[in-house]
Chain A
Amino acid sequence: MKRREGEGCPQKNSADTAQDRELSASPSSPVIAAFKVFQQELDTKHDKYERLVKISRDITIESKRTIFLLHRVTSVPDAEDVLNEADVKLDGVRQKIGQIAEELRGEDIHQFHRAFTPGIQEYVEAVSFLHYIRHRSLVSLEEINVRLVFVRTEKADAKDSAEALPLGAQVLTFQVTPSDYLLGVADLTGELMRMCISSVGNGDIDTPFQLSQFLRQIHDGFSYIGNTGPYEVSKKLHTLRQSLGKVEDACYTLRVRGSEIPKHMLADVFSSRTTLIDPEEGVV
């Protein structure tokens, strides 16, 4: 009797592992059956999330390249070529956003928002940069969203007829959220600051003043929003102030030195300044 109970524990354990094996082998246990369903549900969700992260990363890379391309505008004689090339690149990015829209069909956009928000912010930055160079104004959220409408005709057609839907082509839309837009615009200011410094380096005297005007407007806008926005906005506001300070300093120097140094030498003053500024610049 006593012996038997002394063995109780190992016995119990082996019984448990046997039970475990039996349970995982037979789906008859309601708990195991339920967890198999959960497993599938979670896996599907995680897979989708990973796919979105991947697309978002591609969007980020492509948008960054576009921004680098756009920085060349200041030093190239025919800016229109560069702008058109950037447009083509952004079309590619939009295709990728179309993929996101497709993944999100029938899903709650906010459930997976974290997966693709970095890419979307980068896209907003690239688009608004291009828009500024072309039109010297801030692209609106609506203008961005209007271009993110995708029509899927191929494949969808067959499916539609199979499902007997009245629509011939499927229209997918992607809506950039106001906070993503805001964060993208905050990143834009960093690019504008760079553009300002490099344009001075090329002897362009007008652009810095236009830019400082524009940056000031954006800065005022952000101050208006203040801390009602998401948490990241207040963080970016700090960098925005720094960028604005640099641009304003540049304009100041232009005014002061411009009156005493001949124009062709001004470029030298600034090319030494850029090396001072660039290392500090952390935001891309």
Chain B
Amino acid sequence: MSVTEMFTYIQGFLSADQDVREDIRKVVQILEQTAREMLTVLQSVHQPSGFKEIPSKCAKARELFCTVRTQIADLKTKFPVEQYYRFHEHWRFVLQRLAFLAAFVVYLESESLVTREEVAQILGIEVVREKGFHLDVEDYLAGVLIMASELSRLAVNSVTAGDYNRPLRISNFINELDSGFRLLNLKNDPLRKRYDGLKYDVKKIEEVVYDLSIRGLAKESESGADK
């Protein structure tokens, strides 16, 4: 094979690769749009009026997840499934966002941590790599960490809205999350950087809880927690 032939072959490979990436980018852009819409819907729980409407907001977000499922199904068709990690960078960010949104919705509904299986189910994807388009464990954890900072914000705003019990529940939840993350041996990677921010969220929520308890505002739940 001559040099020219070889380079022509490689060029063909590279341009095919670029076409695939172009397709993926287009779908991911649409996916990002939906994720932003959903975020806007959920952001409104921070409004004083939003606290009463949490169930309806969650229902609306759940509806949007249907759109997400079809869009992800579309994304799946754009590349061979065994090459997931070759193009992973393209959807990593949006998948983390979606994991966060799913976790946030589940928290608002049931005040529990969403499992990786649940997130995968909500997004219409798999958990194990062998079965196809899946949710990488690091992306799931990153999504959970985004939720933690959102919850610290929620704790502050729920006090403003007059809901004094929620911060205590959030505090318990975040503490559990924190001790969970402490079990992990993270490398010096993006996930680790994000995890480093968790302690500030914990601190913020503890401050809120402190403010509440020092003023006797968290009376009922405090006595409830003690006994």
Q: Taking beta carbons and an 8 Å cutoff, which residues of A are in contact with B? A: 1-2, 5-6, 8-9, 12-13, 15-16, 19-20, 23-24, 29-32, 34-36, 38-39, 41-43, 46, 106, 108, 110-111, 113, 137-138, 140-142, 178-179, 181-182, 214, 217-218, 220-222, 224-225, 228-229
Contact = CB atoms under 8 A, between A and B. Distances in A.
B93 interface: no
A182 B10 contact: yes
The B interface is mostly helix, strand or loop, or mixed, namely helix
5 contacts: A19-B172, A20-B179, A110-B88, A111-B84, A141-B10
Contacts of B1: 138, 140, 142
Given A221-B4, A228-B18, A16 B175 contact: yes
Contacts of A113: 85-86
A105 B9 CA distance: 27
Interface of B: 1-4, 6-11, 13-15, 18, 82-86, 88, 112-113, 115-116, 129-130, 137-138, 141, 171-172, 175-187, 206, 209-210, 213-216, 218-219, 222, 225
B8 A34 contact: no
A23 B176 CA distance: 7
Nearest to A229: B14
A225 B3 contact: no
A178 B10 contact: yes
B213 A217 contact: no
Q: Which of B1, B88, B180 has the most CB of A within 10 A?
A: B180
A106 B130 CA distance: 9
B39 to A, nearest CB: 24
A36 B177 contact: no
Contact of A108 (B112, B129, B180): B129
A221 B6 CA distance: 8
Nearest to B191: A42
A178 B116 CA distance: 35
B185 A46 contact: yes
Can you list the 5 inter-chain pairs with the closest CB atoms, starting with the nearest?
A: A221-B7, A8-B213, A35-B180, A110-B85, A111-B85
Contacts of B86: 108, 110, 113
B10 A181 contact: yes
Contacts of A29: 176
Contacts of B18: 228
Contact of A8 (B6, B14, B137, B222): B222
Given A9-B213, A34-B113, A225 B185 contact: no
A214 B13 CA distance: 23
Contacts of B215: 5
Contact of B11 (A9, A39, A224): A224
A106 B129 CA distance: 10
Given A5-B214, A108-B82, A35 B184 contact: yes
B183 A178 contact: no
A24 B184 CA distance: 12
A20 B175 contact: yes
A217 B11 CA distance: 15
A138 B184 contact: no
Given A13-B206, A39-B185, A111-B85, 16 more contacts: A2-B216, A8-B210, A16-B171, A30-B115, A32-B180, A110-B85, A110-B88, A137-B2, A138-B6, A141-B10, A182-B10, A217-B4, A220-B7, A221-B3, A221-B4, A221-B7
